[in-house]
Amino acid sequence: MKTYIVGNWKLNFTVGEASIYLHKLLKNLPNYRDVEVVVAPSLIALQPLSLQIDRHKMKLAAQNAFYRDYGAFTGEVSFSQLRGIVDYAIIGHSERRYIFREDDKMVAKKVAAAIRNKITPILCIGETESERAFGETADVIRDQLIGGLSEVSDDDLDKVIIAYEPVWAISSVRECKLATPDEISEVVKLIKKALKDTYGANLAEKVPILFGGSVNPSNAGSYLTVPGINGLLIGGASLILGEFTDIMEIAKRVRA
């Protein structure tokens, strides 16, 4: 299985800034064999950047899209419109769940729409600080995971990536905390068990699991060595070219 290094730029960078960043990144980016490098710029930058990138070296992801392919949905962009422009889409990020009120039903429809349009969904799941404090982590993880996958057929399970992002560890959350490798490992076990119980062991082991939450070059190595972790989803540090490339190098070393 590949190691995925995914940069989530959120609402940052103009189209021009994004293009300059990618120009610099591509200039020195080796062709990593086992590390899949992905960035998720703003929607408006995706089309021009798709003409700029070298897909042998890296891929693009959308941060969101709407689940219907076309119709009277003012302001939305569909996965079908993104087909051929992006290879991945981040779906169900906690900012979408809590700021834009996306529930598991909507997340499930988006995951299905991505697959239908040949885009790999990166389904984000994770508990809040209070859910953890009340001992609800296992239930939340299971509900978001199985809920988000509810429209995916068994045959398509190998087209999905899961990202575990505890909301309390995301750098933009006030007084965020760093997750420990042990805490991540516990949740990876929960995810694997839920996948196994629902889809069987063979299918379950094909699903990559990423970790996200305040990842930077000093903790990336310890997170990448958590058993069952296949990559990282990086917010803040992915905006700093040097930090993002350092994390790729760490991923390459961990693989070697």
3-state class (DSSP) for residue 56:
coil
Closer residue to ligand PGA in complex, CB, 92/235: 235
What whole-number distance in Å separates Cα of residue 222 and Cα of residue 211? Answer: 11
Closer residue to ligand PGA in complex, CB, 48/181: 181
Check binding of 215 to ligand PGA (CB under 6 A).
yes
Check binding of 127 to ligand PGA (CB under 6 A).
no
Check binding of 8 to ligand PGA (CB under 6 A).
yes
Check binding of 165 to ligand PGA (CB under 6 A).
yes
Q: CB–CB of 231/5 below 8 Å?
A: yes
| Token pair recorded at residue 166 | 């505890």
Range in contact with ligand PGA (rule: CB under 6 A) among 27-35, 111-119, 128-136, 169-177: 169-177
| Sign of the Cα pseudo-torsion (75, 237, 233, 246, in order) | positive
Check binding of 234 to ligand PGA (CB under 6 A).
yes
Our answer to whether residue 93 is catalytic in this structure is yes
Our answer to whether residue 165 is catalytic in this structure is yes
Q: CB–CB of 122/134 below 8 Å?
A: no
Spot the catalytic one: 93, 95, 127, 243: 93
Closer residue to ligand PGA in complex, CB, 124/152: 124
**Strands (DSSP E) found in 43-104:** 59-62, 88-91
**Strand 231-234 relative to strand 3-8, pairing:** parallel
Range in contact with ligand PGA (rule: CB under 6 A) among 19-27, 53-61, 111-119, 233-241: 233-241
Angle at CA of residue 127, ends 121 and 129, nearest 5°: 145
Closer residue to ligand PGA in complex, CB, 37/199: 37
Which residues on neighbouring strands pair with residue 89, listed in sequence order? 62, 121
Range in contact with ligand PGA (rule: CB under 6 A) among 15-23, 65-73, 129-137, 170-178: 170-178
Residue 177 has a CB neighbour count (10 Å cut-off) of 13
Q: Which residues of 199-229 are buried (b: 16+ CB within 10 A; e: fewer)?
A: beeebbeebbbbbbbbbbbebbeebbebebb
Q: How far is the CB of 211 from ligand PGA (least distance, A)?
A: 10
Check binding of 214 to ligand PGA (CB under 6 A).
yes
Closest CB to ligand PGA: residue number: 235
Closer residue to ligand PGA in complex, CB, 147/166: 166
Spot the catalytic one: 36, 95, 127, 165: 165
Range in contact with ligand PGA (rule: CB under 6 A) among 26-34, 42-50, 59-67, 229-237: 229-237
Cα 189 to chain centroid, rounded = 18
**Residue 204 identity:** A
Among 235, 243, 245, 248, binds ligand PGA (CB under 6 A): 235
Residues in contact with ligand PGA by CB under 6 A are 8, 165, 170-172, 212-215, 233-237
Which are the catalytic amino acids?
A: 93, 165
